[in-house]
Amino acid sequence: MAVEYRCCGTDFFVNILIIVLLVMFAGLMSGLTLGLMSMSLVDLEVLAKSGTPNHRKHAAKILPVVKNQHLLLCTLLICNAAAMEALPIFLDSLVTAWGAILISVTLILLFGEIIPQSVCSRYGLAIGAAVASIVRVLVWICFPVAFPISKLLDFLLGHRVALFRRAELKTLVNLHGNEAGKGGELTHDETTIIAGALELSEKTAKDVMTPVSETFAIDINSNLDRELMNLIIEKGHSRIPVYYEEPTNIIGLILVNSYQFS
């Protein structure tokens, strides 16, 4: 009869409810640790200013929470650890000690780690925005413990700077260029222009100049007849050098507009 009371009494269902809430809470903290901490402030600021309407709204809610990254990290880990440590206590009142350990490990691994982190890695922005107010409350609750630890981490590790270097930006643009034919938002021409602009600091005037021997130039004494005009149009240059006697003796330029002959 004692076992029946233990299995079917009010305490039994209260413990089951607490266990479910603890697993859900631990899973939320674990998922947020991955989802929020994987987003840099630069990423969030870019989304807040130039993302889609939903992304801008979500990023605006998350930014104030993520600004102090070490404080947020300490808060989420403290809450996650507290939930996982409390779980075996309530399980122990329902099953044997080894059963409590087995069940708690299974619940935490599946519902407290794998599933939440998988979901938050994909929908971290939306989930983080939805629970931003809850996270703020947790930060204040854990503040006496989390704040000193976060300050120590700030002192030892400093703040994470996630700005891209020039080479990294170039690689990112090239990746977009590779996806241009698969529905990417940037075309090949756009990625070429951006990549070229990033390379300007490494180029010299010599790199972008055409040797005089390879240029199309006109002698100043040449007649601008139909044949020469057709040749100019065929070459397609907007500026044609004009030389006197020698091609290296450039004395001016002809600005070319589009002509159409009947």
Percentage of residues of the chain with pLDDT beyond 70: 87
Q: Check: CB of residue 127 under 8 Å from CB of residue 54.
A: no
Share of the chain above pLDDT 90, in %: 15
Using alpha carbons, select from 100, 67, 62, 61 the residue that is nearest to residue 84: 100
| CA–CA gap between residue 112 and residue 227 (Å, rounded) | 80
Give the pLDDT band (50/70/90) at residue 196: confident
Question: Is 251 in a helix, a strand, or coil?
Answer: strand
Q: What is the CATH number of domain 210-255?
A: 3.10.580.10
Question: What confidence score (pLDDT) does residue 136 get?
Answer: 93
What are the structural domain ranges in the chain?
2-157, 166-205, 210-255
**Is pLDDT at 164 greater than 50 in this prediction?**
yes
Q: Could you tell me if residue 183 is left (phi over 0), alpha (psi between -120 and 50 degrees) or otherwise beta? A: left
Pairing of strands 250-255, 239-243: antiparallel
Quick: pLDDT tens for 45-89.
Answer: 888 887 788 888 888 889 888 888 899 999 999 999 998 888 888
Q: How many CB atoms lie within 10 A of CB 25?
A: 19
